[in-house]
Amino acid sequence: MDRLTLFGLFAVTAMLLTYALEKRNRWFILAFAGSCVLGSVYGFLQGAWPFGIIEAVWSAVAIRRWWQSTIANEGKHLT
């Protein structure tokens, strides 16, 4: 396997693991967003730009979900 393939394998494995752990802690949502960025970079480097775009969108969605969970969590501390 070349380095690009190993990088892609790492990115997709990180996405799978962090997605599976999202319910345990909101920081896994942010980690999922970061691994989606890695997947996006891999897609563009590989030449599969549609994959790169979709992963970038998923990253933005995950960051929004993390932000909303952070706001919701702060609201719990105010009561």
Whether the pLDDT of residue 78 is over 60: the answer is: no
Q: What is the pLDDT of residue 48?
A: 95
Structure tokens at 51: 């994959």
Number of domains forming the structure of the chain: 1
Q: Is residue 75 very low, low, confident or very high in pLDDT (cuts 50, 70, 90)?
A: low
In a domain, 67, yes or no: no
Structure tokens at 44: 């563009």
In a domain, 73, yes or no: no
Neighbours of 61 (CB within 10 A): 13
Q: Which residue has the higher pLDDT, 73 or 38?
A: 38
Residues 10-58 have pLDDT tens digits of: 999 999 999 999 999 999 999 999 999 999 999 999 999 999 999 999 9
Three-state secondary-structure class, residue 24: coil
In a domain, 53, yes or no: yes
- 35: containing domain: 3-62
Whether the pLDDT of residue 62 is over 90: the answer is: yes
